[in-house]
Amino acid sequence: MTLTPKTSIKPKVAVYKFSSCDGCQLSLLNLEDELLDLASVVDIAYFLEATRTVKAGPYDIGIVEGSITTPHELERIKEVRDECKFLISLGTCATAGGIQALRNFTKMSDLANKVYAHPEYLQTLDTATAISEHVPVDLEIWGCPVSKATVLEALSALLMGRRVNFPPSPVCVECKRRGMICVVVSQGIPCMGPVVHGGCGALCPSNGRGCYGCFGPSSTANFSSLVNVLLPLERFPGESLLLIRNFSGYAPAFRKAADLVLKAAAEKESK
Amino acid sequence: MKTIEVPALARVEGEGGLFIGMKDGKAVEIRLDIYEPPRFFEGFLIDRYLQEVPDITARICGICPVAYQMSSVRALEAALGIEVTPEIYTLRRLMYCGEFIESHALHIYLLQAPDLLEVPSALDLAAIAPEVVKTALRMKKAGNELLKAIGGRSVHPVNACVGGFYRWPDARLVKATLPELEWGLEAAKETVKWAVMLPYPDLKINYEFVAIHHPIEYGVMNGDVWSSKGSKLEVTDYETRYIEEHVQHSNALHSHTKEGGNYLVGPLARLNLNHEQLLPAAQKALKDSKIKLPITNPYKSLIARAFELVNFYEEAIQLVKAYAPNGPAHLKLALKAGEGCGMSEAPRGLLYHRYKIDEKGRVKFAKITPPTAQNLPRIEEDLLALVPQLVKMDQEQATLTAEHLVRSYDPCISCATHFLKLKMEEVE
């Protein structure tokens, strides 16, 4: 799936925000060495965090940050899809619901009562969901936040009309390649590295802590094996479940992993 | 009916809209609407383990994650009754310098300067003054590189924890940031000279300034909550005077003082209350600029940010040079039930957290008061003060002037939960 520029006209790019922290859009502005070059090869037609100028669609590339959490967003994402030829969901909120998808595991009214004195003023959905649950998405870039390298790879591939090459291996392999000492084996620290999408360069293990899964599930993950490793390592009750139900917790693969943990806990209970 | 319709507010972090109700040419009602969806952080922190809190609260804002991490770890350490070593505290200050540098360089040049130079964005500015934008990006990068050296990455760094840091950052990586920080200090001094010459709209507000004050260091973490009205409170007494409420038109909470007044947090408040604690190069830049304090024009908070940039580059240089990891990178935590609050100065203003935890280290209550929630009522008041000027302008100019005012606050609307539609209409 590539977008080959058929003419010398610069492709029009739109960047949209839904429910999010703005960190992934900021990752675009944080391309300090590449931003001006990038702006010379694409037409930034809509990007409110960076410019007041709004050029009318349709757009060649749409980049969506954030998840769908309000009735308004539910409508807006359909309009966005209609005006973009190639749609990218940027970051873990857009690809899996993100941290706000923790609401999906609890009763929304309880949450609202905990935070707001007048929940009746709020307009919000009971769930926070990925963009692909509502409209077709052409490319997903994972990360909380996304890494510069993956964003640049995706944009250069699109602009040159070639395939996107994302890091194929999970965090665990990136960690081995860096020659790091395994935090699970050497220190007994629970780590999601074997089941999490690479791209961060094994950031957490290199800082002496376990991976907490912000790049989402890798395609080759073996969750039952992971759960067997995690459960005996728990440093406090329920750690495995909390680790899985975090920034990427609503990704379908992680939901299944959480079910495995809950099942194991129930079996232990009945014994 | 006179209606002024303004497009979406650009160059802020988050989404909001503005409504001004007019009667006989006078503003009778003003509302800054926050469309930014609520995300319920304080709700889903419940029953999370305390060591997860700094990673989760960082996700409130991608532009100032360090502020959220620092306020939360300080509050949780207070709940456990522990105090970090001077070495850990100093590394936290250094990390915070990185965030101030990237956030202020972003706001000064990429978010607010386009208003003053009458261009839609920094990218348009790059077409006419490429050197300015290149300098800005390089300044910003110096801050991000420092964050990366300490925290692994600039957005949502991974190294901070309750009790300190997961590990001491590699001294070679930290020291490698020095040449760009030294270049950045000189660029920041030039930024001040440039910032004082820019054409700011006129507006004079009688603010109550509120910021963290410390007798020796420029208030960022340690210190008391000072107000320009004379109130001096310890962090544990913050909630006795500063009260947060939920108003109908906003998904962000609004704050006011116990006496019912609005107050201002952020760079103007900090500079006006704490200029004596600026480091020498920033003191000199302030003196040479001949700027008289207090600055009371919200548009000029850009100038306050410029002075702070000088200060934080200078502090970063000192701390990088002195960096020599010593002692444990983090304290061992002895879990016990407790309650604690913690504060720090996010680049856009005071950020307060309070938590209750149980004996197993699980969060049982969380309260987070972000800077923009405290500033929102103040922004509305400022806009009201601006209306006599707005009604004399054409639609385009009025819109730009009102938007510019909101932008000058650097509102992290996504942090206070939060795009601007300026609607001025006659009301019944």
- Residue B240: the pLDDT is 94
> Are the beta carbons of B329 and B167 closer than 8 angstroms?
yes
Residue B106 has pLDDT above 80, yes or no: yes
The interface residues of chain A toward chain B in range 19-78, judged by CB-CB distance below 8 A, are 19-27, 29-30, 32-33, 35-36, 39, 44, 48-54, 69-70, 72-73
Residue B160 has pLDDT above 90, yes or no: yes
* Identity of residue B94: L
> Are the beta carbons of B9 and B419 closer than 8 angstroms?
yes
Question: By mean pLDDT, which of B86-90, B345-349, B368-372, B411-415 is the weakest?
Answer: B411-415
The answer to whether the CB atoms of A32 and B41 lie below 8 A apart is no
The answer to whether the CB atoms of B120 and A32 lie below 8 A apart is no
The interface residues of chain B toward chain A in range 296-315, judged by CB-CB distance below 8 A, are none
Question: Distance (Å) from the C-alpha of residue B214 to the closest C-alpha of chain A?
Answer: 30
> Percent of chain B beyond pLDDT 70?
89
Residue B427 has pLDDT above 60, yes or no: no
Identify the segments of chain A with pLDDT beneath 50.
1-6
- Residue B1: the pLDDT is 29
Q: B404 to chain A: which residues are within 8 Å by CB?
A: none
Looking at the partner chain, which of B9, B40, B106 has a beta carbon nearest the beta carbon of A29? Answer: B106
B66 band by pLDDT with thresholds 50, 70 and 90: very high
Residue B3 has pLDDT above 70, yes or no: no
B45/B355 Cα distance (integer angstroms): 10
* Of residues B280, B243, B235, B276, the one with CA closest to residue B260: B243
* Of residues A147, A152, A142, the one with CA closest to residue A247: A142
Asked if the C-beta of A95 comes within 8 angstroms of chain B's C-beta atoms, the answer is no
- Residue A257: the pLDDT is 95
A27/B63 Cα distance (integer angstroms): 10
* Average pLDDT over chain A, rounded to an integer: 91
pLDDT by residue (tens digit) across A44-82?
999 988 888 889 989 999 999 999 998 989 999 999 999
Q: Where are the beta strands (DSSP E) in B221-358?
A: 224-227, 232-233, 242-246, 253-257, 338-346, 349-357
- Residue A191: the pLDDT is 97
* C-beta atoms surrounding B234 within 10 Å: 12
* Average pLDDT over chain B, rounded to an integer: 89
pLDDT by residue (tens digit) across B293-333?
999 999 999 999 999 999 999 999 999 999 999 999 999 99
Bridge partners of residue B254, in order along the sequence: B245
Residue B247 has pLDDT above 70, yes or no: no
Report the Cα B275 to chain-centroid distance in Å.
Answer: 17
Looking at the partner chain, which of A24, A106, A242 has a beta carbon nearest the beta carbon of B52? Answer: A242
B426 band by pLDDT with thresholds 50, 70 and 90: low
* Of residues A225, A165, A168, A167, the one with CA closest to residue A192: A225
Please give the residue that has the higher pLDDT: either B63 or A115. B63
Residue B24 has pLDDT above 90, yes or no: no
Tally of residues, chain B: 428
A250/A93 Cα distance (integer angstroms): 10
**What SS3 class is residue B194?**
helix
B27 band by pLDDT with thresholds 50, 70 and 90: confident
pLDDT by residue (tens digit) across B391-424?
888 878 888 888 889 889 988 754 443 234 445 5
Give mean pLDDT, residues B36-52: 87
Q: B60 to chain A: which residues are within 8 Å by CB?
A: 21
Q: B44 to chain A: which residues are within 8 Å by CB?
A: 99, 102-103, 106, 111
The answer to whether the CB atoms of A32 and B137 lie below 8 A apart is yes
Q: What is the ipTM of this complex?
A: 0.94
CB under 8 Å to A198, separation ≥6 — which residues?
A167, A168, A169, A170, A171, A173, A174, A215, A218
Domains of chain A: 12-160 (3.40.50.700), 171-266 (no CATH)
